[in-house]
Amino acid sequence: MRSRRILLGRSWRIRAAMYFYVLALAAVVTTAWGQPADNIRQYQFEPAAGRYQLALKEVPRPVAAAGEVLVRVRAVSLNRRDLNILSSDYGPDDGLAGGIPLSDGAGEVIAVGEGVTKFNVGDRVAGTFFEHWIEGAPSLEMLEQARGGGAGGMLSEVVVTHENGLVAIPQHLSYEEAATLPCAALTAWVGLFKRGRLQPGQFVLLEGTGGVSIFGLIFATAAGAKPVITSSRDEKLERARALGAIGTANYRKNPDWQKEVHELTGGVGVDQVLDVGGRDTLSKALEVLAPGGHIALIGGLSGYGSDLPTDSLMWINATASGVYVGSREDFEAMNEFISEHQIHPLIDRVFEFDHAQDAFDYMQGGSFMGKIVIRL
20 within some domain: no
Contacts of 312 (CB under 8 A, 6+ apart): 286, 318
329 within some domain: no
The torsion region of residue 80 among left (phi > 0), alpha (psi -120 to 50) and beta comes to alpha
C-alpha span between 145 and 153 (Å, rounded): 11
The span from the first CA to the last CA of the chain, in angstroms, equals 56
Q: Are 176 and 194 in the same domain?
A: no
pLDDT at 151: 66
**Residue range 99-121: average pLDDT?**
97
Identify the CA nearest to 113 among candidates 156, 66, 74, 72: 66
Q: Are 153 and 259 in the same domain?
A: no
17 within some domain: no
Return the C-alpha torsion angle 240, 241, 243, 247, nearest 10. 90
C-alpha span between 286 and 313 (Å, rounded): 8
Q: Which domain holds residue 71?
A: 39-180+345-375
Question: What would the DSSP string read from start to end of 296-360?
Answer: EE---TT-S-----HHHHHHTT-EEEE-----HHHHHHHHHHHHHHT----EEEEEEGGGHHHHH
- More confident site: 303 or 336: 336
Q: In which band, very low, low, confident or very high, does the pLDDT at 344 lie, cut at 50, 70 and 90?
A: very high
Q: In which band, very low, low, confident or very high, does the pLDDT at 376 lie, cut at 50, 70 and 90?
A: very high
Q: Are 198 and 253 in the same domain?
A: yes
Question: What would the DSSP string read from start to end of 55-106?
Answer: EEEEEEPP---TTEEEEEEEEEE--HHHHHHHTTTT-TTS--TTPPP-SEEE
pLDDT at 281: 82
**Residue range 182-208: average pLDDT?**
98
Phi, psi angles (nearest 5°) of residue 63:
-125, 140
C-alpha span between 286 and 121 (Å, rounded): 49
What is the CB neighbour count within 10 angstroms for residue 344?
A: 14
Residue % of the chain over a pLDDT of 70: 85
Judging by beta carbons within 10 Å of its beta carbon (0-12, 13-18, 19+), is residue 22 exposed, middle or buried?
A: exposed
pLDDT in tens, 55-99: 999 999 999 999 999 999 999 999 999 998 888 766 655 668 889
Q: Are 148 and 226 in the same domain?
A: no
pLDDT at 149: 75
pLDDT in tens, 275-330: 997 667 888 999 999 999 999 999 755 445 566 677 778 889 999 999 999 999 99
Statement: residue 13 has pLDDT above 90: no
Contact 361, 225 (CB under 8 A): no
Residue 270 parent element (H or E): strand 270-275
Q: Are 246 and 161 in the same domain?
A: no
267 within some domain: yes
pLDDT at 310: 73
The predicted model scores a pTM of: 0.88
Question: What would the DSSP string read from start to end of 171-224?
Answer: TTS-HHHHTTIIIIIHHHHIIIIIIS---TT-EEEE-SSSHHHHHHHHHHHHTT
C-alpha span between 26 and 6 (Å, rounded): 30
Identify the CA nearest to 294 among candidates 268, 323, 274, 276: 274
16 within some domain: no
156 bridge partner residues: 42
- Average pLDDT of the chain to the nearest whole number: 88
C-alpha span between 218 and 228 (Å, rounded): 11
- More confident site: 4 or 374: 374
pLDDT at 51: 85
pLDDT at 302: 45
**Residue range 23-41: average pLDDT?**
52
Residue % of the chain over a pLDDT of 90: 76
Statement: residue 272 has pLDDT above 90: yes
Our CA angle for 75, 188, 157, nearest 5°, is 15
- More confident site: 264 or 84: 264
pLDDT at 87: 83
pLDDT at 16: 43
Domains of the chain: total: 2
Lowest mean pLDDT among 9-13, 204-208, 310-314: 9-13
Statement: residue 361 has pLDDT above 60: yes
Q: Which CATH number belongs to the domain containing residue 201 in this structure?
A: 3.40.50.720
Q: Are 172 and 277 in the same domain?
A: no
Q: Are 48 and 175 in the same domain?
A: yes
pLDDT at 19: 40
Q: Which CATH number belongs to the domain containing residue 78 in this structure?
A: 3.90.180.10
Q: Distance of CA 254 to CAs 126, 187, 250, Å? A: 40, 28, 6
Q: In which band, very low, low, confident or very high, does the pLDDT at 152 lie, cut at 50, 70 and 90?
A: confident
Identify the CA nearest to 103 among candidates 73, 124, 123: 73
Q: Are 232 and 302 in the same domain?
A: yes
Q: Are 155 and 79 in the same domain?
A: yes
Q: Where are the beta strands (DSSP E) in 3-50?
A: 39-48
31 within some domain: no
